[in-house]
Amino acid sequence: MSDAAYRWEMIEPGKPMEKVEFDPFPPGDAEVVVEVEGCGVCHTDLGFFYDGVRTGVEPPLALGHEISGRVVAAGKGYEDFVGKAVLVPAVIPCGECDLCRRGKETICRQQYVPGCDIHGGFASHVKIPGYGLCEIDEAKLAAAGLELADVSVVADALTTPYQAVFQAGLKEGDLAIVIGVGGVGGYCVQVAAAFGATVIAVDIDQDKLDQISGAGASAAFNPNDYPGRELRKAVSAFTKENGLRATEWTIMECSGSVPGQQAAYGLLVHGATLCVVGFTMDKVEIRLSNLMAFHARALGNWGCTTGNYPDALNLVLDGRVNVKSFIEHHPLDNINEVFELVHAHKNKGRAILMPKMSS
């Protein structure tokens, strides 16, 4: 393989991805070419590759939507970004439609998701729409002891729970219960704590609970130790002991699993807010009328508005959210082995694939 731009394409779900050269230059009007520093491996990527979740366009397709890098070329309207370090939004809205103008970018019907609707970040370069790029202050990045690749996970694993916490209106004095604290859920714990909430972490993986207990969680419960309604009783006891309200809990389901969603729904109290952050193709049987009876609400969020990206990034750069302890670096050329590792849950942190890292 020469020094030409390349990407690792999913030719067919479940089959080894293949390294393919391509020419990303020149970008068109309102497009940029980003030289990729790092791209995180997300649960959604695994869904496309292993679980039959359909991509927006048919393969061959390079997956990957958690992208950080440097703009090396730009089309009309984005020339000022050349040379800048950036985060690429995991959901890129058009920025022009009625929904975008009304601040509803996450439901823009002309949106692009890298690695789903267009080629993604498991590549040396990506050519993408320039709208919504989040500039990274490299001086602050260095002061925080972080590499540009490290913050790739901010593009989804952190901004998605940030949007959930933001729209739920979490604040000091509130209780947040995060179900599933690996990956997105771990960052959700930290973001909720940064907003001032008291946070309870819930997971069946004791190692993950132990890790997040030192990074924002005030209590950690393993459902294996609290079967059935015992989990709800344990949470209630915690609220009473700590002077928190017995009502209006915010329950953030990040596991993307049937047991996690069932546990989250079982924790509804009067005035509760249920935030659905994780994704699964599986169906859950619930009594929807519980929302009515508890005067509760359920919120979903698809990605994050571009306007919230700088504030989410600043939580990391200012040291209020710890990224470094929850990631691991891998060479991009090891993509097939890394997918197997993550699929088998043998990774210790969010896997970041790096084109410039040698095998």
Residue among 297, 216, 201 at smallest CA distance from 255? 201
Q: For residue 220, what is the enclosing H or E element?
A: strand 219-221
Q: Kindly indicate whether the domain formed by 6-156+304-354 is annotated with CATH number 3.90.180.10.
A: yes
Q: Mean pLDDT across the stretch 153-158?
A: 96
Q: How are strands ordered across the β-sheet holding 273-276?
A: 219-221, 198-202, 175-179, 250-253, 273-276, 297-300
Give 242-286 pLDDT, tens digit per residue. 999 999 999 999 999 999 999 999 999 999 999 999 998 899 999
Cα–Cα dist 355/38, whole Å: 7
Residue among 13, 83, 68 at smallest CA distance from 38? 68
Residue among 86, 85, 104, 84 at smallest CA distance from 96? 104
Residue the block writes with tokens 């030192």: 214
Q: Spell out the alpha helix ranges (H) of the chain.
A: 43-50, 98-101, 138-143, 159-168, 184-194, 206-212, 230-241, 258-266, 289-293, 309-317, 335-343
Please state, for a pLDDT cut of 90, what percent of the chain lies above it.
95
- CATH topology (fold) of 159-300: Rossmann fold (3.40.50)
pTM for the full predicted model: 0.95
Q: Spell out the domain ranges in the chain.
A: 6-156+304-354, 159-300
- What's the confidence (pLDDT) of residue 195? 98
Give 94-152 pLDDT, tens digit per residue. 999 999 999 999 999 999 999 999 999 999 999 999 999 999 999 999 999 999 999 99
Cα–Cα dist 263/244, whole Å: 21
